[in-house]
């Protein structure tokens, strides 16, 4: 491979002016390694710094909760209160020393916030179908006041991230969490926050506009989307997702992050069209596209770039290959695909808590 023209290692400048050294991002990865109150845990710091040292041009935190009511995971990092500031500043500083661009993924779980973590019944765009008498965590429909407060919580969390020293944020609009629940066709609210796409997209658009207005023009802002139905991301439509991406770009987003889970799979609605190419055609050329989903080898990553993505985001391959971007510079290097033993994972700065969580995913942790 001629390094002078290797697409993977070309720097990239976003519309806001932030430049990343290469096209390889660490995908946001929930790891349960922070403290119960959302303050930064030492193991979360070590895990992320290890990947930053491995050469990732952009490093995202896990989905970090923007308010206590929006918390979704045990050991989740928070970006919600003053108590979180010190750890966030340590994290931003430590990542920047490794010459990466650090961002925070901003998250509210909506219907998927367990009351055991938040102390309250979850709310969402619409009420869940289950009977709350038998399903105490069945979501109720949020009030207008709660929606407006959630928008404000996202914007404040972005301001907090900026103050802590992060270069930007990614708004989590994917995977069936709060913003995705609003984008879904199942959101039939009739009060301007649901129904037609304009109403369903209002919450994510207000979040993006608010962040751009309050964090300034040089702050990196992205939105992660699930383009079509997959798992919890129910009620997503490809054409609508393209429109939402365009709107978010108009509202001030610098990038759209496509969460595909498997970049080789054709889309459901338009199996003959490449999903990445579809977004590329619809978006202005200075709006960057990140793509995630089963990208393992450097050649696969280059092929995703060739299809119109500006960066690749690695999840499982980055868990198992902390030095992926550095290793990918070696000809014929092949990534580890797992499963790996707990001690092999521990040697890459993955703590027992994260290893336990990773057991939910196939082929990462070798049992025994
Ligand atoms: C352990 C684990 C934790 C994840 N946590 C998050 C998260 O916090 N936020 C998010 O948007 N996606 C999350 N994802 C999805 C990844 O960011 C990524 O999109 C997905 O794993 C597909 O990429 P991959 O095939 O390279 O793993 C998670 C995935 C895994 C395996």
In which residue are the tokens 């092999």 written?
A: 344
CA distances from 161 to 65, 88, 170 (A): 12, 7, 11
Instruction: Identify which of 227, 207, 202, 209 has the alpha carbon closest to the alpha carbon of residue 280.
Output: 227
> Ligand 1 centre from 76 Cα, in Å?
14
Residue 234: C-alpha distances to residues 121, 160, 184, 208, 266 (Å)? 21, 31, 7, 22, 18
Protein residue whose Cα sits closest to atom 4 of ligand 1:
29
Half-sphere exposure for 338 (CA within 13 Å, toward CB): 23
Percentage of residues of the chain with pLDDT beyond 70:
99
Out of 315, 318, 345, give the residue to mutate to test ligand 1, the one with the largest number of ligand atoms within 8 Å of its CB: 315
Which residue's alpha carbon is nearest to atom 10 within ligand 1? 28
* Ligand 1 closest atom vs CA 295: 26
What are the start-end ranges of the H helices in 235-341? 238-251, 275-282, 298-306, 316-320, 324-327
Mean pLDDT of 280-295: 98
Token digits of residue 176: 């069936």
In tens, the pLDDT along 156-169 reads: 999 999 999 999 99
pLDDT-above-90 percentage for the chain: 97
Q: What is the dihedral of CA 32, 127, 125, 104, to 10 degrees?
A: 0
Q: Per-residue pLDDT for 108 more than 60?
A: yes
Atom of ligand 1 nearest to the CA of 317: 26
d(CA 304, CA 363): 23
**Model pLDDT, residue 3:** 55
| pLDDT at site 1 | 56
State yes or no: pLDDT of 275 exceeds 80: yes
What is the DSSP pairing of strand 19-20 with strand 12-13? antiparallel
Please report the pLDDT score of residue 2 as a whole number: 55
CB-neighbour burial class of residue 186 (10 A; exposed 0-12, middle 13-18, buried 19+): middle
Q: Give the integer Cα–Cα distance in Å for 236 and 138.
A: 21
In this predicted structure, what is the pLDDT of residue 309?
98
Closest ligand 1 atom to Cα of 170: 11
**Phi and psi for 318 in degrees, rounded to 5?**
-80, -30
Do residues 66 and 80 touch, judged by C-beta distance below 8 A? yes
What is the residue with the minimal CA distance to atom 21 of ligand 1?
Answer: 315
Separation of CA 229 and ligand 1 centre (Å): 16
The three-point CA angle 75-25-23 to 5° equals: 175
Domain ranges, ordered by start, for the chain: 3-337
Tokens coding 336: 């580890």
Phi-psi region at 38: left, alpha or beta (left = phi > 0; alpha = psi -120 to 50): left
Candidate from 25, 27, 34 with most ligand 1 atoms within 8 A of CB, to mutate? 27
Of 3.40.50.300, 3.20.20.70, 4.10.640.10, 3.50.50.60, the CATH number of 3-337 is: 3.20.20.70
Please give the distance, rounded to the nearest whole angstrom, from the Cα atom of residue 320 to the centre of ligand 1. Answer: 13
Nearest residue to 157 via CA among 179, 124, 134? 179
Binding pocket residue ranges, ligand 1, CB within 6 Å? 27-30, 62-63, 105, 172, 174-175, 224, 259, 261, 292-295, 314-317, 358, 361
């Amino acid at each position: 491979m001629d390094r002078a023209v290797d697409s993977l290692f070309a720097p990239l400048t976003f519309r806001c002016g932030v430049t990343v050294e290469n096209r390889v991002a660490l995908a946001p990865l929930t790891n349960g390694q922070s403290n119960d109150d959302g303050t930064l845990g030492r193991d979360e710091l070590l895990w992320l710094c290890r990947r930053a040292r491995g050469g990732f041009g952009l490093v995202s935190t896990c989905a970090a909760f923007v308010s206590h009511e929006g918390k979704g995971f045990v050991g989740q990092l928070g970006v919600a209160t003053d108590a979180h500031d010190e750890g966030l500043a340590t994290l931003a500083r430590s990542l920047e020393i490794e010459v990466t661009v650090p961002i925070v993924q901003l998250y509210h779980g909506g219907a998927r916030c367990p009351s055991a973590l938040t102390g309250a019944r979850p709310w969402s765009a619409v009420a869940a179908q289950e009977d709350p008498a038998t399903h105490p965590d069945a979501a109720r429909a949020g009030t207008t006041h709660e929606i407006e407060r959630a928008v404000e919580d996202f914007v404040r969390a972005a301001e907090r991230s900026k103050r802590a020293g992060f270069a930007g944020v990614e708004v989590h609009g994917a995977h069936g969490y709060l913003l995705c629940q609003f984008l879904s066709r199942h959101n039939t609210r009739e009060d301007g926050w649901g129904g037609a796409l304009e109403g369903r997209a209002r919450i994510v658009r207000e979040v993006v506009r608010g962040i751009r207005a309050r964090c300034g023009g040089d702050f990196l802002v992205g939105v992660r989307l699930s383009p079509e139905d997959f798992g919890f991301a129910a009620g997503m439509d490809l054409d609508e997702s393209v429109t939402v991406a365009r709107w978010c770009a108009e509202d001030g987003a610098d990038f759209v992050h496509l969460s595909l889970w498997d970049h080789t799979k054709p889309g459901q609605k338009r199996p003959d069209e490449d999903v990445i190419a579809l977004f590329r055609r619809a978006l202005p050329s200075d709006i960057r596209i990140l793509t995630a989903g089963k990208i393992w080898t450097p050649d696969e990553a280059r092929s995703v770039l060739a299809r119109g993505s500006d960066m690749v985001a690695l999840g499982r391959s980055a868990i198992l290959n902390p030095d992926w971007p550095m290793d990918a510079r070696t000809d014929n290097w092949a990534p580890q695909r797992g499963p790996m033993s707990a001690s092999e994972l521990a040697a890459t700065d993955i703590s027992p808590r994260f290893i336990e969580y990773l057991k939910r995913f196939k082929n990462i942790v070798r049992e025994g």
